[in-house]
Amino acid sequence: MGVISDKKFVCVLGSTGSIGLSTLSVIDQQSDRFQVFALTAHSNIDLLVAQCHIYHPKYLVITDPDLYQALLTKVKANCLDVAVLSGPESLNEIVSHDDVDIVVAGIVGAVGLDSIYHALCQSKTVLVANKEPLVMAGNFLVDVAKKNHATILPIDSEHNAIFQCLSQSAPPYSSDQGILKILLTASGGPFLNTPMNELRNVSVSQAIKHPKWNMGKKISIDSATMMNKGLEVIEAHYLFAAPVDTIEVVVHPQSIVHSMVQYVDGSTLAQLANPDMRVPIGHALNYPHRVRLNVKPLSLEDISTLQFQAPDFERFPCLLLAYESLSKGRAAVVGLNAINEVVVDAFLEKKIRFSDISILIESVMDDFNAPNPNSIEEVFSVNAVARESALEGLSKFKYVESKEVR
């Protein structure tokens, strides 16, 4: 296991979300190893203040600037000795601080890209849970990390599993690793066995109820459509320097095997664990060491069956759309991510049906055209154009379908 010394200072971006809470649970078990430097949230100021009482960070950040005064008032009322910042740009400030060693990126959506980029520019170790930044700008982020001797470590369960199964150490990777295939496992979400004719009318509450994982609303919807697995294919392509035709998705409802790597010599390595985000987070926080954590170890005797099956692209057309976007170039990948965010928001707001999600994404993607971005700045430009296209497509779609939407 090795001896670990020197306390590390950690920024937890999105500390009130599921990834942030799991990260803090790991830090609770290793207070001699990690010190929280900053905590951030978008709107949950009550929980943010409660966390401040426990972890005593130097900074609190509320990314919704309209809530800055409310947070500041609560901080003063609780006599907390902490600096309070607001707005998304404040994330860039805290992750770039000289005292910061590790940044845990748990902010959902494209908004997390800029802070990850700034952290890598300052040679930080960045633990990435939110797949959207690597989907949007994976090639740029990997290059920036290499140039600045920074480290990207994945903490979503699938890519962390792949990372653990690779013979090389941390990214960036070369394309010559002896890999035959990367097998990304997918639970299949809540509708794996739901009759196709019933998918049209599933509710938001049904769609966000994942059978294995406790996640935020957006990623839960992406899991239900399997767009999350499509985005993970793109992420794996960039992060592990893997050709697209070597990345396959395998449906595995038990969520015990988190991913596998097949090698050219006939070996297949798999990472198995109970579905608990503290496992990949603890692994990455302590990398390259293995440290005992208070998580339930996997009991093979308790596992009666491990099932695997090919994905049904008719049931999950969003997965196919992700593969198709990769074949079209970087702009299409950025566009797909942005369009999906807008359309998922519309479903969560009950403006469209669940079955409309893939229809809308495909429709907007068919008409979307933008030059491939050659910088982070251009990625943001393409993202903005794609969001506008999605909103325009959504407005037309609502006009036709609004009377039938529940």
pLDDT in tens, 310-337: 999 999 999 999 999 999 999 999 999 9
Q: Residue 215 — pLDDT band, cuts 50, 70, 90? A: confident
Quick one: CA torsion of 88, 91, 96, 102, rounded to 10 degrees? -150
Q: What rounded mean pLDDT belongs to the chain?
A: 91
Sheet containing 102-105: order of strands = 83-86, 59-62, 34-41, 8-13, 102-105, 125-128, 151-154
Q: What is the pLDDT of residue 286?
A: 96
Local confidence band at 401 (pLDDT 50, 70, 90 cut-offs): very low
pLDDT on residue 174? 57
pLDDT for res 169: 62
DSSP 301: G
Residue 247: strand pairing partners = 182
pLDDT at position 172:
56
Average pLDDT over residues 248-252: 96
pLDDT at 43 > cutoff 80: yes
Per-residue burial over 307-332, b if 16 or more Cβ lie within 10 Å, else e, is eeeebeeebbbbbbbbbebbeeebbb
pLDDT greater than 60 at residue 4:
no
127 DSSP β-pair partners: 104, 153
Residue 262 has pLDDT above 90, yes or no: yes
346: pLDDT strictly greater than 60: yes
How many C-beta atoms lie closer than 10 Å to residue 348's C-beta?
Answer: 16
CA distances from 354 to 6, 131, 207, 267, 348 (A): 49, 22, 8, 40, 9
Please give the pLDDT value at position 170: 58
Report pLDDT digits (tens) over 166-207.
866 655 565 667 889 999 999 998 889 899 999 888 999 899
Determine the average pLDDT of the residues in 46-67: 97
Q: Does residue 96 carry a pLDDT above 60?
A: yes
- Do residues 155 and 19 touch, judged by C-beta distance below 8 A? yes
Q: Which has the higher per-residue pLDDT, 304 or 267? A: 267
- pTM exceeding 0.85: yes
Cβ of 392: how many Cβ atoms within 10 Å? 13
Is 405's pLDDT higher than 50? no
SS3 346: helix
Q: Which range (34-43, 209-218, 306-315, 366-375) has the least confidence?
A: 209-218
- Hey, what domains does the chain have and what are their CATH numbers? 8-154 (3.40.50.720), 156-275+300-317 (no CATH), 329-406 (1.10.1740.10)
For residue 148, pLDDT beyond 60 = yes
Does the structure show a pLDDT above 60 at 403? no
- Band of residue 261 on the pLDDT scale cut at 50, 70, 90: very high
